[in-house]
């Protein structure tokens, strides 16, 4: 069972339907026990970083997500959910994140269109990652005004180019994040989501 964490912000139903299309059971939940018992957990998100962290803290789901990450079972942050995995964000002032991955989320700066919106090609930096096993680089769909800057280069799994190198996929141990929405990113997006779900399935006790 895959827990899709409901903290009041996110495209929960589109993620849920994508998980089900890939043949897995998905549960939308804010119940700590249900989340902690899940084989894999997904933290989606749409909106502002500070508001999202406030919601997580008020419901105490911030601690639940940290406990889940510490359990060793696969955790995936999507879009804003990926950004929340980092230490801090400068969106609407300084805001602390979940600090599961060291780094900062910053606004795009430069003489180009913001938000970054459209189909961009991924570049796999760490092809040995289980997320990329058997996959070919291709295009996924981005919509974001802020981007993550990991402190550790080893946490950066894939990038895209938007007037600069932009973090697209991150990962450390069992914690992963995708800046784009895989469920809205065509065949490659669904393949990447499927690889994460395979990880969750493989972590089940035999």
The token pair at 3 is: 């827990």
Burial class (CB in 10 A: 0-12, 13-18, 19+), 1: middle
Instruction: Write down the catalytic residue from 91, 181, 187, 198.
Output: 181
- Give the rounded distance of the alpha carbon of 110 from its chain centre: 25
Does the bond joining 33 to the residue before it have cis omega, within 30 degrees of 0? no
Beta bridge partners of 160: 166
Residue 79 is a catalytic residue: yes
Q: Which of 13, 37, 79, 151 is catalytic?
A: 79
Q: Quote the CA–CA distance of 120 and 103 in Å, as a whole number.
A: 23
- The answer to whether the CB of 121 falls within 8 A of the CB of 138 is yes
Q: Is 137 a catalytic residue?
A: no
Distance CA 14, CA 26 (A): 11
Which residue out of 13, 91, 183, 198 is catalytically annotated?
183
Q: Has 181 been annotated as catalytic?
A: yes
Residue 144 DSSP SS3: strand
Take residue 174 and report the two structure tokens written for it. Answer: 């069992």
Which residues are annotated as catalytic?
79, 181, 183
């Amino acid at each position: 069972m895959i827990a899709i964490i409901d903290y009041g912000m996110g495209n929960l139903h589109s993620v849920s339907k994508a998980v089900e299309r890939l043949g897995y059971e998905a549960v939308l939940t804010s119940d700590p026990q249900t989340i902690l018992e899940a084989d894999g957990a997904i933290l989606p998100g749409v909106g502002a970083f500070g508001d999202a962290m406030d919601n997580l803290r008020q419901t105490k789901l911030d601690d639940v997500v940290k406990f889940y990450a510490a359990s060793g079972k696969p955790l995936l942050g999507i879009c804003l959910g990926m950004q929340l995995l980092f230490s801090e964000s400068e969106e609407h002032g300084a805001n602390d994140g979940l600090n599961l991955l060291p780094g900062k989320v910053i606004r795009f700066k430069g003489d180009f269109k913001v938000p970054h919106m459209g189909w961009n090609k991924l570049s796999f930096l760490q092809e040995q990652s289980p997320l990329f096993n058997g996959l070919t680089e291709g295009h996924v769909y981005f919509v974001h005004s802020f981007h993550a800057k990991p402190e550790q280069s080893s946490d950066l799994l894939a990038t895209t180019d938007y007037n600069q190198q932009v973090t697209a996929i991150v990962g450390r141990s069992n914690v992963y994040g995708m800046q784009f929405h895989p469920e809205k990113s065509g065949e490659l997006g669904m393949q990447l989501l499927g690889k994460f779900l395979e990880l969750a399935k493989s972590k089940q006790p035999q």
